[in-house]
Amino acid sequence: MARPQPASTESRPAADFGIPALQAEQWLQAIDARHLPPSTSARDRRRFRSQLHLNDLMLARACALGRDAAWETLWTTYQPRLRAAALRLTRDSESARELADNLLGDLFGLRGGSAEQSKLWSYHGLGSLDAWLCTLLAQSHINQWRRHRRQVSLDAGLEDSGSLCALLVPPNQEAAAAAAEFRPLAAAVAAALVALAPDVRLLLSLYFVDGHTLNQIAGLLRVHESTISRRLTRQLQRLRREVRRQLEHQGLRPAARDAVLRNAASLEPGWLHVDVSSALRTSAAPRNAHGA
Amino acid sequence: MAPELHPEANLLSAWLEGNLSRRSAARVTAHLGACGECRRLAACAGLLVQDNVAPSRRAFGAWRPRFALAAATVLVAGAAWSLGRRPTVPDYAPVATSRPILTLTPAPVRVAAPRPRPLVHRAALVSRPAKPVRVIALPPPPDLLPTLDAVPAIHFTSANAGFSDQPAQFGAQQALAAWGGATQSLPVAPPPVIAARLSYAGDEPLDFSQATVDTGLNPWGLGWAGASAANAAPLRIAGIAMHVQAADAGSLWAASRTDQVYTSSDHGVHWRPVVLPGASQSPAAVASISFQNQREGVIRDRTGATWLTHDAGASWVRR
């Protein structure tokens, strides 16, 4: 399926769907205000607009306004695509059809309502309409999956988040005492993780916390798997150096530091994983979250 | 826990396509680094968006120009170097995948660079006949999954000729299809093509330098030259759901489902089934096998159930 490209002019896509140019300009100004700070230069504003998917944006707005021709375009273009995408998630044709049609039905059923009600109004054209719908579809699928998990969790006795925690229980008291000796090391690891760059944190989180494979991460970040492998290796080497530095900051002499590191190599690594994973989850959360 | 505000679908979908400005992309990246919920959504949506997006631009894009010149320099230098030297390890050197995030060890020992050899030695190496192949047959499980029907044998060869870059051979469609089934945290049902993982977590190098898993339909090669603890590699094979992990130089564990776990203590020559308590009532695909030594090990399935052993698999405790 061909993905609509951002249009070079702003008025033509609006005219294609019978939307007045003045109305389209008001929408675009609202989107500018939503995603650009007031101090943005005129040049950056032009660049921002040039990257918008105007065809998709006007199609969505026309659908939200209840234009039948736009709805027909949306339905014929995206219904097969969303059903195929849903099939990849559910692996069941019946569930996939239900998932995709529910999403389109939600969008369709709200047409004719007030302007604030339709979900299509929240599409801003930053990415393609296809990607936006896929994101909504994925969110619906995850919500559905969560509801299902809540229903079966009492029987299963295990939550999905328990997989990592289950590894972290020391098998006996002696092991627990041994693990306590490595708290300085865990503190050094946590301190090293705080200083990670956001992209490195994302890479490590995808790999170590979420358990994605190199291939999956490569697909998500759109780079080759071997590139991810190299970056991971390099970042872990940096992390190790930083841990050594942190241990020195704690006042450990080189001999004691090497002894800690040497003993850590023989320690059950699962307990160290705990500290690393929890540190990755909690430390250095972005201060100004976006979306506003 | 997650920051207060999560990226809306507009930002997330644009990030997945690489359409955000550098500043906005950095914000989304920072959020994803700290928010597991949004990473889950991004991974799930990314699986779908990739169908329509060519591999491109933005994610980690800032790293590209910085390293482009360095990469070109390394390529030229590497090509010149390889003309005069015998290749020892493949270019594709996978990293450890058994998730020892920080196996902290003292400073590595520096190894002297290999001495250059004349070109005539390379020709002699190429013409050397391959060593015989040793075939290790897994015992047929009582209740074969459809995916296991295509797993008649694992071939371990000691020949060091040839190296197959598995991800490169793996088509984009299969790779994307494998994504869902291999992702433990994704609520995606196992697809027809399931990722398999062949990893090695022992301290000593294995006694084979190349392993090949033959599905009976589609033989895929696994490069394993100079296998070591730092060289464990995931292997994705069409039609196979299998995990093989070496606990030490001679002990291997293989499993597809929790009711189909096998172990070998003689380099895979003989295999015996292992019964995990409670696994037969609700069998699930095995997500990982991890042995820290010959006695202490953990098997996890995709539902999160975990079995621990402290006596080399003689007894198991379910957590």
**Tell me, what's the ipTM?**
0.75
pLDDT band at residue B81 under the 50/70/90 scheme: low
pLDDT band at residue B256 under the 50/70/90 scheme: low
Task: Tell me the fold of B1-83.
Answer: Arc Repressor Mutant, subunit A (1.10.10)
Q: What is residue B225's predicted lDDT score, i.e. its pLDDT?
A: 24
Most confident of A125-134, A234-243, A249-258, B238-247: A125-134
Break chain B down into helix, strand, coil percent, rounded to 5.
25, 20, 55
* B305 chain-A contacts, CB cut-off 8 A: 158
Residue pair B237/B280 in contact (Cβ under 8 Å)? The answer is: no
Of B5, B102, B234, the CB nearest to A239: B102
Distance of alpha carbon A136 from alpha carbon A148, whole angstroms: 18
Residue A132 has pLDDT above 90, yes or no: yes
Rounded to 5 degrees, what angle do the CA atoms B181, B187, B193 make? 15
Between chains, do A209 and B93 touch, taking CB under 8 Å as contact? no
Select the more confidently predicted residue: A187 or B13.
B13
Distances (CA, A) of B201 to A233, B37, B211, B229: 16, 30, 15, 5
* A167 chain-B contacts, CB cut-off 8 A: 298, 300, 306
Q: What is residue B80's predicted lDDT score, i.e. its pLDDT?
A: 63
Q: Shortest CA distance to B11 belongs to which of B31, B28, B32, B34?
A: B28
Tokens read off for A142: 């995850």
Q: What is residue A149's predicted lDDT score, i.e. its pLDDT?
A: 64
Return the number of other C-beta atoms located less than 10 Å from residue B72's C-beta. Answer: 10
Tokens read off for A280: 């990755």
What are the phi and psi torsion angles at B307 (to 5°)? -120, 135
- A69 Cα to chain B: minimum distance (Å): 24
Residue pair B44/A138 in contact (Cβ under 8 Å)? The answer is: yes
Q: pLDDT tens-digit profile of A196-234?
A: 888 888 888 888 777 788 888 888 888 888 899 898 888
Amino acid at A95: S
Q: pLDDT tens-digit profile of B185-198?
A: 222 222 222 223 33
pLDDT band at residue A10 under the 50/70/90 scheme: low
Return the number of other C-beta atoms located less than 10 Å from residue A104's C-beta. Answer: 18
Q: Minimum mean pLDDT among B189-203, B235-249, B260-274: which range? A: B189-203
The torsion angle over the Cα atoms of residues B193, A137, A6 and B50, rounded to 10 degrees, is -10
Query: Which residues 94-123 in chain A show a CB within 8 A of chain B?
Result: 122-123
* Helix A68-90 and helix A54-64, axial crossing angle in degrees, nearest 10: 110
Q: pLDDT tens-digit profile of A81-113?
A: 898 888 888 888 888 888 888 888 888 765 445
Residue A190 has pLDDT above 50, yes or no: yes
Q: Domain map of chain A by residue range?
A: 11-148, 165-282
Q: pLDDT tens-digit profile of A133-179?
A: 999 999 988 888 877 766 544 444 333 333 333 333 444 555 555 55
Concatenating the DSSP letter of every residue in chain A gives -PPPPPPSSSHHHHHHTT--HHHHHHHHHHHHHHHS-TT--HHHHHHHHHTS-HHHHHHHHHHHTT-HHHHHHHHHHHHHHHHHHHHHHHS-HHHHHHHHHHHHHHHHHTTTS-TTT-GGGG--SSS-HHHHHHHHHHHHHHHHHHHHHHHHHHHH---TTHHHHHTTS-SSHHHHHHHHTTHHHHHHHHHHHHT--HHHHHHHIIIIIS---HHHHHHHHTS-HHHHHHHHHHHHHHHHHHHHHHHHHTT--HHHHHHHHHHHHHS-HHHHHHHHHHHHHHTT--SS----
Residue B308 has pLDDT above 80, yes or no: yes
**Cα atoms in the 13 Å half-sphere on the side-chain side of B109:** 2
Between chains, do A138 and B24 touch, taking CB under 8 Å as contact? no
- B78 Cα to chain A: minimum distance (Å): 16
Distances (CA, A) of B133 to A49, A136, B127: 61, 51, 18
Between chains, do A223 and B60 touch, taking CB under 8 Å as contact? yes
Beta bridge partners of B309: B297
- Per cent of chain B over pLDDT 90 is 0
Q: pTM of the predicted model, to two decimals?
A: 0.49
Q: What is residue A133's predicted lDDT score, i.e. its pLDDT?
A: 93
Q: What is residue B79's predicted lDDT score, i.e. its pLDDT?
A: 66
Tokens read off for A263: 């003993």
Distance of alpha carbon A272 from alpha carbon A179, whole angstroms: 8
* Beta strand pairing call for B210-214 and B243-246: unpaired
Query: Which residues 11-70 in chain A show a CB within 8 A of chain B?
Result: 35, 48, 51
Average pLDDT over residues A243-268: 70
Numbered ranges of CATH 1.10.10 in chain B: 1-83
B294 CB within 8 Å of a chain A CB: no
* B10 chain-A contacts, CB cut-off 8 A: 122-124, 126-127, 132
Torsion sign, CA atoms A183, A184, A186, A187: positive
* A87 chain-B contacts, CB cut-off 8 A: none
Residue A243 CB contacts under 8 Å (≥ 6 apart), including other chains: A185, A188, A189, A192, B102, B104
Select the more confidently predicted residue: B24 or A260.
B24
Residue A20 has pLDDT above 80, yes or no: yes
Residue pair B206/B249 in contact (Cβ under 8 Å)? The answer is: yes
Residue B276 has pLDDT above 70, yes or no: yes
Residue A193 has pLDDT above 80, yes or no: no
Of B36, B42, B104, the CB nearest to A240: B104
Average pLDDT over residues B132-141: 40
Query: Which residues 137-166 in chain B show a CB within 8 A of chain A?
Result: 165
B-interface mutation test, from A185, A247, A290, most B Cβ less than 10 A away: A290
Residue pair B265/B253 in contact (Cβ under 8 Å)? The answer is: no
- Per cent of chain A over pLDDT 90 is 5
- Mean of all residue pLDDT scores within chain B: 53
Distance of alpha carbon A193 from alpha carbon A206, whole angstroms: 14
Distance of alpha carbon A86 from alpha carbon A90, whole angstroms: 6
B229 CB within 8 Å of a chain A CB: no
Most confident of A54-68, A100-114, B123-137, B158-172: A54-68
Q: What is residue A88's predicted lDDT score, i.e. its pLDDT?
A: 85
Average pLDDT over residues A29-37: 89
**Three-state SS at B212:** strand
- Per cent of chain B over pLDDT 70 is 28
The chain A residue lying nearest B283, using CA atoms, is A156
Between chains, do B190 and A91 touch, taking CB under 8 Å as contact? yes
Distances (CA, A) of A74 to A84, B8, B266: 15, 22, 61
- A112 Cα to chain B: minimum distance (Å): 23
Query: Which residues 145-174 in chain A show a CB within 8 A of chain B?
Result: 145-146, 149, 156, 158-163, 166-167, 169, 171
Of B5, B13, B59, the CB nearest to A132: B13
- A205 Cα to chain B: minimum distance (Å): 6
Q: What is residue B270's predicted lDDT score, i.e. its pLDDT?
A: 60
Q: What is residue A237's predicted lDDT score, i.e. its pLDDT?
A: 80
* A142 chain-B contacts, CB cut-off 8 A: 40-41, 44, 187
